[in-house]
């Protein structure tokens, strides 16, 4: 977890605040926080998706850069880094589970067959351009983008083609003129023609960083998930799925497609189809993402496929096709937290934010069901806005963290011929400060159906004590916002917990205060609104010292209903993103809430039925 601190701005003079009676009343509001009800809510279930693990030991690592297959069917992987560490960078998988760590060398770029060595030539991030036999002129030039090699049980050469074909090519190399004898997998991978694009099937691969065969002839493939995460799939010689594992991109959280009634979740790179008739934890999303929504070959400049790598000990980013190294290289999730997925004027769009903010990115769904980059108009100013929102009408709301600036609503004007959403500087609505006694805005949400605006942030009386990108210490609600009546709702502002606990034993120089103890300090990192409730998730621990906790607020009165806690589900990480949870109310009254678990590459799934009688729906 990295720390990016807010810039400080002068506080708004009290005289300005007192100038509006609706706002003046907030100064005398009780300082008691509304997270004191730490009891769990009734009628909820805890599950997860995004990782095939059942506990921390079996959790699939953050990503997989390379792999080899052993005769007993175990798969040995290697990556340059893992958030959990503990030897997980070099993991062993077998029969659908991670079973431990290893210390072997993992080198899928060269193999030996009958005393002769073959290696990939001109190896880049996606792969090389040919395969050569060392010490001879023997060469394979039709292997596409070879990214891994292995040997079959009858001494043939297996090649993982990580180019547009996304399958395995098998060569007879008994002579100096290698001959293609077989392929394994569908040509084109998840983008094979004649089928829905991006949809996963056992023989439709994507992101090939390794291949191998066990003593029984079973073939295992795997590597990076394009856009973040790792995967392995083992199949019988005739292509029957034996087992598979995966992890989602590190530092990510998905959101529901609001047109799907909660059945479809989208991260920045993947789609999950949920089956809510499943009641066993970890089963709602199945054993693998339903679909990939990034096409690296169709959209090579898609910012979602940016690769993090190390150059002269300095971290850098590049598009995969241009990257000439594999050193420390892996896909970096962008955007990290998905704000919303919604249909605007008949077309689907995805909106998301980075780990630290500010700002927002947008993507449009093409006719094949793949999201494509979409530039937001230059008139949409979000450069200093941690508070951004896309309402039900696809209007964009931008709240600069500096409360001396106006809040701006950018009204959707249409869709151009390329499918890009159109916003105009002539179709904006600005709202001038003050905004209660907020001196820094953290989040914004506009409920179009009720004409209600919510703002969170810090105030003069309850200022930011530490951290970056937090929700804030206070939440406001104003009714009749666009109609102009703008009434502060009864029971607001709501006070949120925000407590800095200094790091023990630290004695900083120059009289500075000690840094915060991240594990003990208390603050909300993310908040989502759905139906009649808000769900605020602690960055590390709740006041009772528990991880993964979200407080539920009744929006009618601002009171806490209780907490959602990851009971009976493994949860070990911090909630690291500025938008690291998302919430949706289904038509049967059930709330669906996802929460990032950054250390174990998965999403906590809370399912809450306030009435206790939500009709069963898939």
* pLDDT one-digit tens code per residue, 326-371: 989 999 999 999 999 999 999 999 999 999 888 999 999 999 999 9
Q: How confident is the model at residue 583 (pLDDT cuts 50, 70, 90)?
A: very high
- pLDDT value of residue 570: 85
pLDDT of residue 440 exceeding 90: yes
CB 521 within 8 Å of CB 487: no
pLDDT of residue 528 exceeding 60: yes
pLDDT of residue 161 exceeding 70: yes
Give the number of other Cβ atoms within 10 Å of residue 567's Cβ.
13
pLDDT of residue 281 exceeding 60: yes
Structure token pair of residue 238: 């005739």
pLDDT of residue 552 exceeding 90: yes
Average of per-residue pLDDT across 365-391: 94
C-alpha angle 566-612-585 in degrees, rounded to nearest 5: 70
Average of per-residue pLDDT across 514-529: 94
pLDDT of residue 6 exceeding 90: no
Average of per-residue pLDDT across 257-271: 98
- pLDDT value of residue 48: 96
pLDDT of residue 162 exceeding 90: yes
Q: How confident is the model at residue 588 (pLDDT cuts 50, 70, 90)?
A: very high
- pLDDT value of residue 33: 58
| Between 442 and 569, residue with greater pLDDT | 442
- pLDDT value of residue 196: 98
Q: Is 337 helix (H, G, I), strand (E, B) or coil?
A: strand
- pLDDT value of residue 357: 80
Sheet containing strand 396-399, strands side by side: 387-390, 396-399, 407-415, 421-431
Q: How confident is the model at residue 21 (pLDDT cuts 50, 70, 90)?
A: very low
Burial 301-325 (b: 16+ CB within 10 A, else e): ebebbbbbbeeeeeeeebebeebee
Q: Whose CA is closest to 226, among 253, 201, 246, 254? A: 246
Structure token pair of residue 250: 């590190």
Tens-place pLDDT, residues 215-254: 999 999 999 999 999 999 999 999 999 999 999 999 999 9
Q: Whose CA is closest to 211, among 192, 191, 185? A: 185
Tens-place pLDDT, residues 144-157: 999 999 999 999 99
- pLDDT value of residue 168: 99
Strand-pair partners of 330:
308
pLDDT of residue 11 exceeding 90: no
- pLDDT value of residue 260: 98
Alpha-carbon dihedral sign for residues 541, 591, 470, 60: positive
Q: What is the dihedral of CA 258, 260, 262, 265, to 10 degrees?
A: -80
Which stretches within 10-58 are classed as H helix? 14-18, 21-24
Burial 89-114 (b: 16+ CB within 10 A, else e): bbbbbbeebbeeebeeebebbebebe
Q: By mean pLDDT, which of 72-76, 410-414, 506-510 is the weakest?
A: 506-510
CA distances, 506 to each of 3, 79, 510, 517 (Å):
18, 34, 13, 10
- pLDDT value of residue 514: 85
- pLDDT value of residue 5: 27
Which residues, at least 6 apart from 311, have a Cβ–Cβ distance to it below 8 Å?
Answer: 325, 327
The pLDDT > 70 percentage for the chain reads 94
Average of per-residue pLDDT across 109-117: 98
CB 149 within 8 Å of CB 110: yes
């Amino acid at each position: 977890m990295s720390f990016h601190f807010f810039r400080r701005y002068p506080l708004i003079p009290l005289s300005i605040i007192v100038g509006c009676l609706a706002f003046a009343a907030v100064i005398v509001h009780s300082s008691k926080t509304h997270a004191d009800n730490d009891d769990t809510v009734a009628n909820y279930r805890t599950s997860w998706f995004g990782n095939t693990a059942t506990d921390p030991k079996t959790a699939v690592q953050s990503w997989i850069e390379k792999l080899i297959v052993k005769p007993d069917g175990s798969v040995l992987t290697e990556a340059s880094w893992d958030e959990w560490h503990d030897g997980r960078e070099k993991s062993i998988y077998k029969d659908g589970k991670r079973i431990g760590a290893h210390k072997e060398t993992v080198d899928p770029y060269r193999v030996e067959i009958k005393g002769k060595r073959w290696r990939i030539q001109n190896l880049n991030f996606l792969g090389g351009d040919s395969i050569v036999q060392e010490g001879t002129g023997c060469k394979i030039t039709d292997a596409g983008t070879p990214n891994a090699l292995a040997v079959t049980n009858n001494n043939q050469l297996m090649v993982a083609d990580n180019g547009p074909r996304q399958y395995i090519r098998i060569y007879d190399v008994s002579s100096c003129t290698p001959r293609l004898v077989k392929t394994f997998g569908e040509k084109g991978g998840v983008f094979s023609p004649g089928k829905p694009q991006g949809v996963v099937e056992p023989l439709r691969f994507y992101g090939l960083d390794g291949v191998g065969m066990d003593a029984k002839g079973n073939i295992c493939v795997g590597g990076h998930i394009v856009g973040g995460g790792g995967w392995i799939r083992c199949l019988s010689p005739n292509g029957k799925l034996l087992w598979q594992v995966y992890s989602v991109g590190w530092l990510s959280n998905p959101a529901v497609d609001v047109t799907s009634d909660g059945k479809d979740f989208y991260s920045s790179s993947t789609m999950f189809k949920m089956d809510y008739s499943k009641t066993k934890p970890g089963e709602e999303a199945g054993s693998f993402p339903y679909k990939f929504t990034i096409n690296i070959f169709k959209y090579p400049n898609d910012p979602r496929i940016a690769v993090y790598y190390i150059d002269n000990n300095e971290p850098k980013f590049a598009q995969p096709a241009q990257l000439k190294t594999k050193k420390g290289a892996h896909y970096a999730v962008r955007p990290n937290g998905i704000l919303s997925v919604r249909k605007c004027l008949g077309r689907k769009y995805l909106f998301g934010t980075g780990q630290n903010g500010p700002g927002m990115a947008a993507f449009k769904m093409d006719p094949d069901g793949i999201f494509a980059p979409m530039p937001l108009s230059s008139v949409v100013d979000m450069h200093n806005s941690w508070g951004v929102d896309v309402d039900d009408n696809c209007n964009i709301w931008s709240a600069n963290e500096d409360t001396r600036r106006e809040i701006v609503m950018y009204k959707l004007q249409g869709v151009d011929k390329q499918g890009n959403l159109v916003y105009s500087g002539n179709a904006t609505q600005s709202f001038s400060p003050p905004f209660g006694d907020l001196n820094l805005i953290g989040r914004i949400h506009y409920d179009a159906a009720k004409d209600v605006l919510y703002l969170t942030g810090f105030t003069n009386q309850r200022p930011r004590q530490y951290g970056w990108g937090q929700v804030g210490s206070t939440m406001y609600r104003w009714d009749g916002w666009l109609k102009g009546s703008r009434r502060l709702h009864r029971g607001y502002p709501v006070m949120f917990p925000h407590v800095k606990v200094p790091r023990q034993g630290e004695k900083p120089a120059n009289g500075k205060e000690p840094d915060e103890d991240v594990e003990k300090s208390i603050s909300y990192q993310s908040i989502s609104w759905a139906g009649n409730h808000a769900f605020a998730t602690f960055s590390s621990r709740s006041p009772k010292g528990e991880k993964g906790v979200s407080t539920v607020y009744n929006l009618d009165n601002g009171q806490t209903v209780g907490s959602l806690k990851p009971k009976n589900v493994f949860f070990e990480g911090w909630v690291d993103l500025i938008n690291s949870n998302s919430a949706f109310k289904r038509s049967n009254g059930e709330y669906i809430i996802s929460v990032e678990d950054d250390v174990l590459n998965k999403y906590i799934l809370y399912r809450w039925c306030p009435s206790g009688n939500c009709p069963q729906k898939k």
